[in-house]
Structure 1
Amino acid sequence: MIDKDLFRKTEGRLYRYYRSITEIDKLEYKISLLEDQKQKIKQDMKETNIFIEEESRSITYEERVQNSSSCSSYAEKEMIRQIEKLERELKDTIRYSLKLKVKVRDIKKEIADIEYTVRLLGKEYKDLLEMKYRDKKSFEAIGEKLHASKSAAFDKRDEVVEAIAKLLNVRI
């Protein structure tokens, strides 16, 4: 039997591990949405789906002639402005996506050792860990799910946490 402090620390690592897995799932979902957004923005840029505001058009839909030193019409300026807006949006989307990918990699590095340890366990132990530390179920619910009593579920939890602590070579 391991001491209470080591047991508590190992349990804390398990709670953080399952929180991290949930966080990774959320981040990866956001990344996939951003990837879709990037493709849509690129498609808009290719098709140049530019909307010129109604007030910029004359009533007869003839282009206005402007006296300016830039030698470009309002429609041209508006198209350039809209394309630049899409380029900024694409750049921001790519930047945010890369930032999230870095965060996912960092989290995966942090949990690598405990993830490896959990993979070494049998299915029954993995199920118990998920119910207790991911789903935060009570020992009554865990016992019911495992077709065992509350105290048997409690003992199994002690057993698996101790095994993980030994596998991780956790020291006080």
Structure 2
Amino acid sequence: MKDVFQLKDIEKIAPKEKGITAMSVKEVLQSLVDDSMVDTDRIGTSNYFWAFPSKALHAKKRKLEELQNQFSEYNQKKKSLQETTEKSKIGREDTAERAALTKEVTTLQKKKEQLKAEIDKYKECDPDIIEEVRQANKVSKEAANRWTDNIFAVKSWAKRKFGFEESKIDKTFGIPEDFDYVD
């Protein structure tokens, strides 16, 4: 039927002719509008709904054309990939020479891994790593001596401020007798 309806008309017709409950007509109609199966427009204060058969036919034709275009594109890609595959096979035929070269490549890769593992074993002798360790040791030594300065300063302050003996301070705070700067 090629006609335009208002919501109240559809709410009367749908339960009788299509068996849709009157309570769900608005939801079903909105779902159809969302799926572009029914068109709607507001004119004045009223909303009008319609769905002409030609719209569905045109939508299906557009979808068919779109799918046919995609199909032809994919066929072109498939053909192109097959041609590329055939071109790449040229010169890669299984021959005795190719098998020997492949075996040699595998052997050389294994040897490379073995040599890499051996290099990793001797990494601690690497001059760059040794220099990094020396620099880290220097920084650590400076930090230890800085803390030693701080401890001596606190001990001196505690002796002046509270009159404690140095041996009592050392014993209370667990400072060893031979505590001194790191050389």
TM-score, normalising length: structure 2: 0.33
Which structure exhibits the higher relative contact order, with contacts defined as CA atoms closer than 8 Å and separated by 6 or more residues?
A: 1
TM-score, normalising length: structure 1: 0.35
